[in-house]
Structure 1
Amino acid sequence: MDKKLKADLYRYEGLIGFKGFLKGLRIPGFRYMFFLRMAARSKRHSLSWFFFTRLLSRYSFKYGFQIPIKTEIGGGFYIGHFGPIVINEKAKVGKNCNIAHNTTIGQTNRGAREGCPTIGDNVWIGTGAVIVGRIKISSNVLIAPNSFVNVDVPENSIVLGNPCKIISKNNPCEGYIGSTLEF
């Protein structure tokens, strides 16, 4: 098992062995990330690639996740609840990121911030949040539920509302992001 997958598993179960892996496969978020990471590692058009992409497609439809194989996602990615989650394939997500259901990390097609977001390490994204445009969400950021984020966010901040309001705070994710595995 690679380092990113171990970090993902540890976020769900606090275990990294075979027993933890079997427990993790029962959790929709880990199951989806396992097949996503395995499909991304497989050589394109190989038998394993077809197998993993087929299962990924099935779970994408079943759980409502739209996360393309090419999306750059760091280890320790945690999907709290299954439901609609959309992440653009050009977005970049750092290590130990929590994401809740009904969340969009998307692209802006025009304007000064045309492009996709880059999200740092240790970011908690609440239910219904929308993050769009070529923006940078720094590390240690908490994005409150139902926030609309289309501006750069500095480190150690809380983002809330629509339009978003940024509040500086030390350790804003303390108590929200748990069980991390450094690699």
Structure 2
Amino acid sequence: MADQYSTLQKDFYRESGTWLSTFQIWAKCINPNLHFIYVLRKAQQYRKTPLLNIFWKFVLRHYQIKYGFQIYPETEIGEGFYLGHWGSLVINPQAKIGKNCNIAQGVTIGQQNRGKNMGFPIIKDEVWIGTNAVIVGGITIGTNVLIAPNSYVNFDVPDNSVVMGNPGKIYPSENATEGYINHKI
């Protein structure tokens, strides 16, 4: 059933658990988080259309500055993307984020320029990332992972885990994101 809906509709579904029309989506853009996701998805949709690409990149840049979200159209982000709170978020354009992921404010998902984990993070499906968490390097975060607020993660995290602390420590948990990721698609 969900296959008939656009990526944008799937992102907005995560907020309320209701499938919305184009007009209803536009009306919900009063919320800064949803408004930014709307503009980001439009910039991603029109990346290969010359004139619309320029227009949507310009609009996206305006809202990056206004809302404090540093996310670029080149970033691969799966369906059901959810920004929990407004403000200060940095995601490297080469990072990859899976489906049904939640990201809170103050999060950094970035590049590591040296050492054994040089590169960019890959974050799989159903990952919840708490306030002020930092995820860096050529690492993989598995499916069904909760990264607690203020955690520092520069190592691979297996599926079904909770990560807490600085430096982060892994705790196995089959229901790591239960109750944290609502309205999955």
Question: Structure 1-normalised TM-score?
Answer: 0.93
Stretch of structure 1 that moved more, 111-120 or 3-12: 3-12
1:4 equivalent to 2:7? Answer: yes
Match of 1:72 in 2: 76
Is contact 2:101–2:125 with CA below 8 Å preserved after alignment? yes
- List alignment gaps of at least 5 residues for structure 2: none
Match of 2:175 in 1: 171
- List alignment gaps of at least 5 residues for structure 1: none
Question: Structure 2-normalised TM-score?
Answer: 0.92
* Local SS of the residue matching 1:90: coil
Counterpart selection for 2:16 from 13, 19, 22: 13
* Local SS of the residue matching 1:89: coil
Identity %: 50
Report 1:13-162 matches (<5 A). 13-18=16-21, 20-44=24-48, 46-162=50-166
Distance 2:76 2:35 in 1: 18
Code of the aligned partner of 2:132: G
Distance 2:28 2:128 in 1: 21
Stretch of structure 1 that moved more, 14-23 or 99-108: 14-23
Task: State the Cα distance separating 1:21 from its structure 2 match.
Answer: 0.8
* Local SS of the residue matching 1:12: helix
* Local SS of the residue matching 1:131: strand
* Local SS of the residue matching 2:179: coil
- The 3 A distance-change label for structure 1 pair 157 and 43 is closer
Is contact 2:13–2:20 with CA below 8 Å preserved after alignment? no
Stretch of structure 1 that moved more, 139-148 or 52-61: 52-61
- The 3 A distance-change label for structure 1 pair 91 and 22 is same
Distance 1:122 1:115 in 2: 22
Stretch of structure 1 that moved more, 65-74 or 14-23: 14-23
Is contact 2:75–2:94 with CA below 8 Å preserved after alignment? yes
* Local SS of the residue matching 1:124: strand
